[in-house]
Amino acid sequence: MDASALTSPDLSVDLRGPVLWLTITREARRNAMSHGVLAGMTAAISAAQTERSVRAIVVTGAGDKAFCAGADLQNAQAFTTDYSEPLGHLAQLLRVAKASYVPLVARVNGACMAGGMGLLSMCDMAVAAEHAVFGLPEVKVGVFPAQVLSVLQHLIPRRTLVEMCITGEPISSLQALEFGLVNYIDRDVDAKLQWLLERLLDKSPAAVRRGLYMMKKMEAMAFEESMAFTESQIALFTLTEDAREGQLAFQEKRKPQWSGK
């Protein structure tokens, strides 16, 4: 994967071993989203789906002040560049993230606001710094979180969500952890992130890839539909090389050597 070809002035795309890092590099603007950031993330996540060597994707912001402050309100076209186009840049990114079977992990290094909450919520897991704050302040500038709610509404309690939306007031990292918005908070966010990645990277790539695909497909299914779907899925899991190797390694009391197939 040619990560350098996807890098732009607003977004760093960096392949660090099996982990693809997407870093918003607009620190002076509190890592507010530009259309270039959204398009770049969409392209990078899409490209990673066919790269078996990419085992995880980290989404973060530069510096230690902000993860992402949301749309750049200094831009007159902060929310769209063409009102005749039905597909918005943020919506396209959230669609691609929703379909990703490469795990996305948010590294929340500071303030996570408005559209930044969408970037956080589109990820499968999240680690936050203790000083991070989270909010949906759109009502303070006369708008309301829209696409963000599509990925956020099932993550936290509804009463908490309504309060955040209609008051615009932020919550702390401790509250975010309590509400299930993040997996972990830590004073050393990088150490905790590395700990979490290591717990993921030594597992079967095939199981993780197929498993995320299955989980995301099941979310919109009724019970009986999901039962029928998973009855066939479990059979497919057992046919992979990783499944055969995992069971053999268990029997032989050794560490598995995953092929990822």
> At which residue do the structure tokens 């936290």 appear?
156
CATH match for 3-201 among 3.90.226.10, 3.30.420.130, 3.30.590.20, 3.30.300.210: 3.90.226.10
Phi, psi of 112 (to 5 degrees): -125, 105
Which pLDDT score, from 0 to 100, does residue 71 have? 84
CA distance 94 to 122: 6
Below-50 pLDDT ranges, the chain: none
Mean pLDDT of the chain: 93
Query: Please, which residues have CB within 8 angstroms of residue 178's CB and are 6 or more apart in sequence?
Result: none
Nearest to 192 by CA among 67, 108, 69: 108
Which pLDDT score, from 0 to 100, does residue 123 have? 98
As given in the structure block, the two tokens for residue 133 are 């704050």
Which pLDDT score, from 0 to 100, does residue 73 have? 73
Q: For a pLDDT cut of 90, what percent of the chain falls above it?
A: 87
Which pLDDT score, from 0 to 100, does residue 186 have? 98
Which pLDDT score, from 0 to 100, does residue 81 have? 58
Q: Which residues pair with 71 in a beta bridge?
A: 33
Which pLDDT score, from 0 to 100, does residue 82 have? 63
Which pLDDT score, from 0 to 100, does residue 75 have? 62
Which pLDDT score, from 0 to 100, does residue 83 have? 66
Backbone Cα Rg of the chain = 19
User: pTM of the full predicted structure?
Assistant: 0.93
User: In the chain, how long is the greatest CA-to-CA distance?
Assistant: 63
Q: With 0-12 CB in 10 A as exposed, 13-18 as middle and 19+ as buried, what is 101?
A: middle
> At which residue do the structure tokens 């700990």 appear?
195
